[in-house]
Amino acid sequence: MIGPLTPWRVARRVLALLLIGAFVYWLLIFVHVWRVARQDDARRSDAIVVLGAAQYDGRPSPQLQARLDHAVDLWQDGIAPLIVVTGGRQPGDRFTEATAGANYLHEQGVPDDAILREVDGRSSWESLSATARFLHDGDKRRVVLVSDPYHMARIDDVAREVGLDAVTSPTRSSPVVGWTEKKRMLQESLKVAAGRVVGYGRLERHGRIGELVPGLATMIGLPLRRFRRRWGLAPDRG
C-alpha cells in the first residue's frame, strides 16, 4: 500500500524528475557535439577563423599547428581570401597565440595581407566576439570556423550568438584523439548544455553558473568536481 504523498515525497519525486530531465538533455547535447565533430560544412566565405591553442615561445603547439594546416588547405582551395588567427597571451607567455599562428602561416606561404589577427582573447567567446566586431566593421559576416572536432559545436553556437554567419570545418590531423578526445567531448557537452540555457555571453561574464542561479553551486559543485576528477575533465582555455 502506497503511503500518503507528504511534502518530502513530492520534493523527492520532483527532484528525481528534474535530474532525469537534465540527464536526457545532456545526452542529447552530447550526441549533437559528436555529430558536429564529424561533419565538414566549409563553403565560400569572407574569412576562415582559426581558434587559438597553446604556443611555445612563438611556435604553435601540435594542436594549434593542426588547426593552422587545415586553414591553409581551405585558403589554398579558395574557400576564403582571409585567415583570422585568434588568441591572446596566456600568463607567462612572450607571444600571443595569434602571433604564433600568423608567423606559421607566413612560413606556409600565406601573405600578410591575407591574415588578420585577434590578439586579446583568452577564451573562445572573447576571441569570436572580438573577431565579429572587426569583421563587421569590414562588412564581413560569413566565416568558416576551424578548430579541433570536439570544439566545433560550442564555437558554432558562440559565433552565431555574436552575429557571425558561421559554418564549421574541423581539422582531421589533431593530436587530440582516442579517449582524450572523448573526454573533451564530455566536457564540451557540459559547456554547450549550460551555454544554451543561460547564454554563452552570460557564462563568460559571470564565470560560474552558481553566480547566475543562487544556490546552484552548492547543489552541484561537489558532484561536478568529483565527476571532473573521476574522468580527468580539467577546465581548458575555451
The CATH number linked to 76 is 3.40.50.620
**Tens of pLDDT, residues 90-130:** 888 899 999 999 999 999 999 999 999 999 999 999 999 99
- Label residue 207 by pLDDT band (50, 70, 90): low
Q: Does residue 39 belong to any structural domain of this protein? A: no
Q: Does residue 163 belong to any structural domain of this protein? A: yes
Q: Does residue 132 belong to any structural domain of this protein? A: yes
What are the distances in angstroms from CA 78 to CA 46, 57, 71, 114, 174? 11, 31, 11, 12, 22
> Which phi-psi region, left, alpha or beta, contains residue 95 (left: φ > 0; alpha: ψ -120 to 50)?
beta
**Whether 66 contacts 82, CB under 8 Å:** no
The predicted structure's pLDDT at residue 14? 84
**Tens of pLDDT, residues 23-44:** 899 999 999 999 999 999 999 9
For the chain, how many structural domains are there in total?
1
**Tens of pLDDT, residues 40-63:** 999 999 999 999 999 999 999 999
Q: Does residue 190 belong to any structural domain of this protein? A: no
- Label residue 229 by pLDDT band (50, 70, 90): low
d(CA 146, CA 144): 7
Domain that holds residue 123: 47-168
Residue 213 is placed in which grid cell?
Answer: 542561479
